[in-house]
């Protein structure tokens, strides 16, 4: 069965420091991988996706993610965190024979000034 | 403006009183889906629809119904709500490419439902 794991419930980082939010997946066949962000009292917003091609994907707001097939990971990164990046981040995976997108449980990113 | 609109945004109801949460999108998307978000469980899919008159169960369909009579609308129906359906609900839509849903999802703002 497909699954997505976000091992950290919360990530704390100081403003200006690099950040990483981790995601691992289990999908049969070639995976389609996504990151979404949710600000308080808002719906989820698309950040970036990996379908095929370059393993480093660049997305909105300076975020990027690296697809690592051997480690089945798709970690979200940003070189320099902003306080305004504080939000709930969801990794999602789809692919194989299914039309479903499976979401992880979310990671709360807290950026301290 | 491209958007997914859900109503109501907040609702408190009582056990057994039928309710409908509406969802409408203006992007001509084929794919629409309902999710519920619960602490520690992330987003779980309730039902989805690949196109008009085509719906299918997600991971947690029990206690819910949907319909897709028009492309833009995908209402979620709770025939007899129970307290375990207290949750935050999201509708989402996406374009549909080559039989595999690789398009990004556009989400509504959410509907917070409390069942007493």
What is the spatial distance between Cα B56 and Cα B49, in angstroms, rounded to a whole number?
6
Q: What is the pLDDT of residues A1-49, one digit of tens each?
A: 789 999 999 999 999 999 999 999 998 888 889 999 999 888 999 999 9
pLDDT at A64: 97
Peptide bond into A48 cis (omega under 30): no
Say yes or no to pLDDT of A54 above 80: yes
| Residue A51 sits at the chain B interface (C-beta within 8 Å) | yes
Sites in chain B below the pLDDT cut of 70: 96-102
CATH code of domain A3-112? 2.60.40.10
> Which DSSP symbol is given to B79?
S
pLDDT at B8: 96
| Residue B31 sits at the chain A interface (C-beta within 8 Å) | yes
* Mean pLDDT computed over A92-106: 80
What is the spatial distance between Cα A1 and Cα A5, in angstroms, rounded to a whole number?
13
* Chain A environment of B45 (Cβ under 8 Å): 100-101
* Mean pLDDT computed over A75-79: 98
Confidence of residue A99 (pLDDT cuts 50, 70, 90): low
Q: Which residues of A65-96 are buried (b: 16+ CB within 10 A; e: fewer)?
A: bbbeeeebbbbbebeebeeebbbbbbbbbbbe
| Residue A52 sits at the chain B interface (C-beta within 8 Å) | no
With CB atoms and an 8 Å threshold, state whether B45 touches A100: yes
* Chain A environment of B107 (Cβ under 8 Å): 36, 43-45
With CB atoms and an 8 Å threshold, state whether A101 touches B101: yes
With CB atoms and an 8 Å threshold, state whether A94 touches B107: no
pLDDT at B69: 97
Say yes or no to pLDDT of A83 above 70: yes
Alpha-carbon torsion (B60, B57, B68, A106), positive or negative: positive
């Amino acid at each position: 069965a497909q699954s997505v794991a976000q091992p950290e419930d919360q990530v704390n980082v100081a403003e200006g420091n690099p950040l990483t939010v981790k995601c691992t997946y289990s999908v049969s066949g070639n995976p389609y991988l996504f990151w979404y962000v949710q600000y308080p009292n808002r719906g989820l917003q698309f950040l970036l996706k990996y379908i095929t091609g370059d393993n480093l994907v660049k997305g909105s707001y300076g975020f990027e993610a690296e697809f690592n097939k051997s480690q089945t990971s798709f970690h979200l990164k940003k070189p320099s965190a902003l306080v305004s990046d504080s939000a709930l981040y969801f990794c999602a995976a789809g692919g194989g024979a299914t039309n479903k997108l499976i979401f992880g449980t979310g990671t709360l990113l807290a950026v301290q000034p | 403006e491209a958007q997914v609109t859900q109503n109501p945004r907040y609702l408190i109801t009582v056990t057994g009183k039928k309710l409908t949460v509406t969802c409408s999108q203006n992007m001509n998307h084929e794919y629409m889906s309902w999710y519920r978000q619960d602490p520690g469980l992330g987003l779980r899919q309730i039902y989805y629809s690949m196109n008009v008159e085509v719906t299918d169960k997600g991971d947690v369909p029990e206690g819910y119904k949907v319909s897709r009579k028009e492309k833009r609308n995908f209402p979620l129906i709770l025939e007899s709500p129970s307290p375990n359906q207290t949750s935050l609900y999201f509708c989402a839509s996406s374009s549909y490419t080559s039989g595999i849903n690789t398009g990004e999802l556009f989400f509504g703002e959410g509907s917070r439902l409390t069942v007493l």
